[in-house]
Structure 1
Amino acid sequence: MRAFVAGVGMTPFTRIGSEVTYPDLVGDAVRAALADAGVEYPALQRAAVGYVFQPSAAGQRALYDLGLTALPIVNVNNNCATGSTALVLARDWVRSGLCDVALALGFEKMTKQAMTGGSAGITTVDAHLDVMVSAHGWTQDAPMTAQFFGNAAREHMQRYGTTVRDLASVAVKNHEHSTRNRLAQFQRPYTLDEVLADKPVHGPLTRSQCSPMSDGAAAAVVVSERFVEQHGLADRAVEIVAQSLVTDTEESLRSGSMIDVVGAPMTRQATREVLDAAEVAIEDVAVLEVHDCFSINEIITYEAMGMCAQGEGGSLVRSGATTYGGRWVVNPSGGLISKGHPLGATGLAQCAELTWQLRGTAGERQVPGARLGLAHNLGLGGACVVTLYHAPQDGRELA
């Protein structure tokens, strides 16, 4: 059975510290998604609710203000891949015939304290830390995730000749894209010199190459083919053509490579599974939302997805192939670097952006003629979700 995104909604992604509550954020995103789908809250039959830093069973509290309908709610936490993991569940429920209308929701109210991480004993990334510390050591002067990706950047530079300008070029591109996105946390362009001269974070990475802490929520209403036909939604329902959720492989943690530790093998496998299932090539995709938590990860993702050969990600971004007028448009929303990264909401914000792109309603950000869109959502410790979407089709094609 096929599954479609009938409606999406998201809040602006903002810097942390506002007085808005997470039920308020959720209410805004879900009401927008329901209105977009043309359904009322009581029509929802199941909900997968993703977050990382909220209390246990926050999914229930997040939705209770919208209605007390006995809606089955499953709470989801898969680190930075949480939002897309909620989407995986919603799609699976619809495709299996368990329901016709499911909600996938992600939200986050982030704090500096939550992001410090670290605890005694086993952590979610203890094996990943073992690889990093043995090769690069540990510092108290930078966040743990910045050390992971900063060290991966150093390795990429040493292996392939990637330059600091290549890394900064990713940030320049994505910050420029976000100037067209009123929902983005940052909405001004950065020059290459500004990115390079910004505050150092770890290794070659500067602050404007790193995703910020953010608050926000995003939601998608996922429906069956039967629901699309019954409600006349064929001209706006975006099909989830293929999807893959994978976790770390032996290669991730046994090769000794920081590029592998930060998720390249997961990205490679999930992308291969999705493209094979849909019988398409990466060249057939017009627009991508990828997990650029740090600039180096967009370059690593280009290579792992087969957009270029291993080691050529830096030259790919330099060539202009991943922006408007190039072969692909990657992160038209501004990506995590500029749109923001409220962990639980990120994967569903990607879903919203690609839904708007494939409907042709993305305004100034619109990628001309986009028919296929690919989302990549990554979490260390470890999960990767890759999702392929197809533009709305007329009723004859749907049938």
Structure 2
Amino acid sequence: MASSYVIGVGLTPFNTPKKSASQSIDPDSDYFDLAVEAIVKALLDAGITYDEVDQGIGCYVYGDSACAQRVFYCLGMTGIPILNVNNWCSSGSTGIWLANQAVRSGDKDCVLVVGFDKMYPGALPQTFKDRTSPLSRILDLSSEQTSTLDKEKPPPGWTPQLFANAQAEYLERYSKYGAEAGHFAKIASINRSHGINNPYSQLSKAVTADDVLSSPAVSGSLTRLQCCPSSTGAAAAIIVSKRFLASHPYLQGLAVEIAGQGLSTDTPELFESRSAIELIGSNMTRQAVKIAYKQAGITAQDISVIELHDCFTSNQMCAMEDLGLAAPGAGWRLVEEERITYDQHSIKCSTDKRWIINPSGGLISKGHPLGATGLAQCAELVWHLRGWTKSRSVPLTKYCLAHNMGLGGATVVTVYCRADGKVTPTPGETLPEVYGRARVGYNPAEEARSIKRSDWESVRSRKAGFSAWATARLPWVLKEADYYQRARL
């Protein structure tokens, strides 16, 4: 099949959901405000207008059907196919997978994918209470495991219980080899330290492993600081064909190739193994990464930077092993030897190989608006490969990997590399203007800015398909000034 490339990405800051006395969620903005901002940034990044997009994909969990149409109509009503994706936490990367399939098959040349969510404060709610949850069998088995692993647990939310059980099983299996609860806490500490350098992070304050361990218990030995927060935010990416890339030569030094990608759902092992670790989707990760590595023609040793789905620290611990970074039961060694963060020369490693995992801060620091997460991972890795992430750069990187998991289930693993075959520039290396920051006007990897009406005007459709009625509620239409600056918390 043909190749596909990411030519533009856009991201909004991820923030804590707000509540007012009269409204259930943040009254200051709506989902389409967030989504349109991310789309405009991606189009500016690529230097194209909405008229060149021949398919749209909208990814979200908390929204009604056809939210994607409501979003894309704000850029133009050009009659293109528009898809709505709801695949739990892997919704955003599922959208990228669909775009990749459409482009590689030759059906489409330019697909715009946007992910967004306006979540509710606190634990994930079960939206529909008058019908069977698609996760009911997983939750039933998790309840059985809870009574077996820890009868003294207080009644937790449904997601913390699953991941607390996985952590308890991991420690039960591997504590005799050296695994400790402190290793899970250190994962959270490392990711929070990375998030300090990401201007889009929801939580940008460093915490120690002791802080994590002493924070309030959520379920079993899982504490609050080992859990990602609920979030609002949006991210977008533009996926194009080799033919499209050739017709836009200024993008040659900007494009990032999707070198390999796998999407996997559950196998009977989910239930038949009777394992809490398998119940959080470990086998999906193993299946998906096998496909992605094979397509890209690489192994885990070729990867330098990873955006990993750390919704809970137990998921990162298990996923590191499932991705082939360590043998089963040895992921804690990567944490102890600090081989998942930047080299501080403080601990002598047993090997020279290290992976920078979650340089963005991951879900634990950056936040987790469900539909946007996979696309935010894409944006972070595209910026790394371009050499834009000065404060968190990993020089000489050739391959990056994104891991985005949704229970119930679907997991997507994507391998990215530069289209020109080069490695990430070293710090201080002069980047040519073709890299496109001049079009955006600043470095979006290092600075989170809002858009202006003039930005939206410059990328919206110019065809007859544009409707002022569809855009009447956009804040950039209502006033000329910059849209409000979202406070980082």
**TM-score scaled by length of structure 2:** 0.79
- Give the deviation of 1:141 after TM superposition: 3.4
What are the Cα deviations for residues 278-304 of structure 1, in whole angstroms up to 9, with x where unaligned?
A: 221101000000100001111101111
1:224 aligned onto 2:241: yes
Query: 3-state DSSP class of the match of 1:7?
Result: strand
1:241 aligned onto 2:242: no
Does the CA-based 8 Å contact 2:154-2:219 persist in structure 1?
A: no
Match of 1:277 among 292, 295, 311: 295
Does the CA-based 8 Å contact 1:80-1:378 persist in structure 2?
A: yes
- Give the deviation of 1:122 after TM superposition: 2.5
Report the structure number with the largest CA radius of gyration: 2
1:335 aligned onto 2:362: yes
1:105 aligned onto 2:114: yes
Structure 2 counterpart of 1:246, one-letter code: S
What are the Cα deviations for residues 40-98 of structure 1, in whole angstroms up to 9, with x where unaligned?
A: 01111001110001111111112222222222110000000000000011111111111
Task: Please identify, of 61-70 and 144-153, the stretch whose mean Cα deviation from structure 2 is larger.
Answer: 61-70
CA distance in 2 between counterparts of 1:371 and 1:140 reads: 46
Q: 1:126 to 1:394 in 2, by over 3 A?
A: closer
- Give the deviation of 1:195 after TM superposition: 1.0
Q: How many residues align?
A: 395
Query: 3-state DSSP class of the match of 2:332?
Result: helix
1:324 corresponds in structure 2 to 342
**Counterparts of 1:315-394 in structure 2 under 5 Å?**
315-325=333-343, 327-393=354-420
1:188 corresponds in structure 2 to 205
1:32 aligned onto 2:46: no
**Counterparts of 1:296-315 in structure 2 under 5 Å?**
296-315=314-333
CA distance in 2 between counterparts of 1:183 and 1:191 reads: 21
- Give the deviation of 1:112 after TM superposition: 4.0
Query: 3-state DSSP class of the match of 1:60?
Result: helix
Structure 1 counterpart of 2:8, one-letter code: G
1:71 corresponds in structure 2 to 80
2:230 corresponds in structure 1 to 213
CA distance in 2 between counterparts of 1:172 and 1:278 reads: 32
Match of 2:185 among 162, 168, 172: 168
1:128 aligned onto 2:138: yes
- Give the deviation of 1:238 after TM superposition: 0.1
CA distance in 2 between counterparts of 1:60 and 1:114 reads: 28
Does the CA-based 8 Å contact 1:93-1:99 persist in structure 2?
A: yes
Does the CA-based 8 Å contact 2:5-2:419 persist in structure 1?
A: no
CA distance in 2 between counterparts of 1:315 and 1:241 reads: 29
Structure 1 unaligned runs (5+)? none
- Give the deviation of 1:244 after TM superposition: 0.7
**TM-score scaled by length of structure 1:** 0.96
1:95 corresponds in structure 2 to 104
1:197 aligned onto 2:224: no
Does the CA-based 8 Å contact 2:212-2:225 persist in structure 1?
A: yes
Q: Give the % identical residues.
A: 44
Task: Please identify, of 304-313 and 132-141, the stretch whose mean Cα deviation from structure 2 is larger.
Answer: 132-141
What are the Cα deviations for residues 95-115 of structure 1, in whole angstroms up to 9, with x where unaligned?
A: 111111101110000014882
1:150 aligned onto 2:164: yes
- Give the deviation of 1:120 after TM superposition: 5.0
- Give the deviation of 1:11 after TM superposition: 0.3
1:178 corresponds in structure 2 to 195
Query: 3-state DSSP class of the match of 1:116?
Result: coil
2:278 corresponds in structure 1 to 260
What are the Cα deviations for residues 345-364 of structure 1, in whole angstroms up to 9, with x where unaligned?
A: 00000000010011111120
1:116 corresponds in structure 2 to 125
CA distance in 1 between counterparts of 2:70 and 2:206 reads: 38
CA distance in 1 between counterparts of 2:123 and 2:203 reads: 22
CA distance in 2 between counterparts of 1:265 and 1:315 reads: 21
- Give the deviation of 1:316 after TM superposition: 1.2
- Give the deviation of 1:253 after TM superposition: 1.6
Structure 2 counterpart of 1:322, one-letter code: I
Structure 1 counterpart of 2:71, one-letter code: A
1:49 corresponds in structure 2 to 58
CA RMSD of aligned residues (A): 1.6
Structure 2 counterpart of 1:294, one-letter code: F
